[in-house]
Structure 1
């Protein structure tokens, strides 16, 4: 079981979404007393294996890592006012209840602040449906903020860390 995992739903390798997800997972990890680097599941590398009917060991390992997380930062760029189809294809492979006991934190990277509600309207419900505890509002990051992530992530981590710790104490994985 991993304590903190960043799940990156961007189809491009080396994306800004990955940068934001890893930085968010690290910032939160430090605030909740988990100093180890987060595990990273980057779906860009798994994309070709997600849509085949044949089992893929790399996808199975990723699914187990995500399902075993104590804290899961789920990040995607905003496409058509929601998260990516790649992230949806991955999450659809998790059985119902697979995230029970996991504290999940949705994060969307967007070019326009008008898409900020997408994190709550689209990404939060799928995580709850999979059984995750989502104790805080999701994080909507503007692409312009990625150049200097420290200020927005410090504010975010400071605000959500108490709720994450409380959720972990109330039944999430530790």
Structure 2
């Protein structure tokens, strides 16, 4: 079964980033894809900062990444890059921790001026971690995601369309990877 892990680097529980995450998660739930979450801000801060590879929560989070076919890297953009807390977690992944996985970046920022943070801040890190199938990703600006009074989020039509395409692309890519892995297991 396909498995996607969503790594959220938002330090804020009510972040508009959650609107993007909830949208793609809904798409994958419709397809019956298993989804796991790593909310980096919920991991023990001391274990993150001291790279404590013996911490049970850190080990569980790393195991989720290892078991996934697809990995979503989600973060708000501050000062032209993803959050430091996300970087602290990515630093704990093994050198080839994303090898053979499809990765989808989802970023949100206050202005379109931070768009290139995907290419110049995140993609080099993902490449170093062994990811060779990095999808284009989606960058949104805050004003495209409205918080609703009853909770939840409303996305602009354009953003919803872009997320829809990216969610489908990730689902198709991991389906192809899973099929290929199954075929190679049968032929071995």
In which range does the TM-score fall when normalised by the shorter chain?
0.7 to 0.9
Contact 2:73 2:103 in 1 (8 A): yes
CA contact (8 A) 1:103 1:164 kept: no
Query: What is the match of residue 128 of structure 1?
Result: 127
Alignment of 1:49-88 (within 5 A): 49-52=47-50, 54=52, 55-88=54-87
> Which structure is higher in strand share?
2
Against the structure 1 CA distance between its residues 78 and 47, is the aligned structure 2 distance closer, same or farther, given a 3 Å change threshold? farther
Structure 1 stretches of 5 or more lacking a match?
none
Bigger shift: residues 163-172 or 129-138: 163-172
The structural deviation recorded for 1:23 is 2.3
Contact 1:43-1:87 at 8 Å conserved across structures: yes
**Number of aligned residue pairs:** 171
Structure 1 residues 164 and 134: CA distance shift in structure 2, 3 A: farther
Q: Is the contact between residue 138 and residue 166 of structure 2 (CA under 8 Å) also seen in structure 1?
A: no
1:13 matched to which residue of 2? 13
Which structure: larger Rg? 2
More divergent stretch after superposition (10-19 vs 60-69): 10-19
Does 2:35 match 1:41? no
Residues 1:149 and 2:148 are matched in the alignment: no
1:113 equivalent in structure 2: 112
Provide closer, same or farther for how the CA distance between residues 132 and 7 of structure 1 changes in structure 2, counting only shifts above 3 A. same
CA RMSD of aligned residues (A): 2.7
The answer as to whether partners of 1:112 and 1:142 remain within 8 angstroms in 2 is yes
Matched position secondary structure for 2:41: coil
Q: 1:15-47: CA deviations, max 9, x gaps?
A: 2223322323433x26xx732462111011115
Deviation at 1:170?
5.0
Q: Who is 2:176 aligned against?
A: 169
Change (3 A) 1:73 1:162: closer
Which structure 2 residue ranges, 5 or more long, are not aligned? 147-153, 183-188
Q: TM-score, normalised by structure 2?
A: 0.77
The 2-side partners of 1:107 and 1:157 are apart by 12
Are residues 51 and 72 of structure 1, via their aligned partners in 2, closer, same or farther at CA, if it must alter by over 3 Å?
A: same
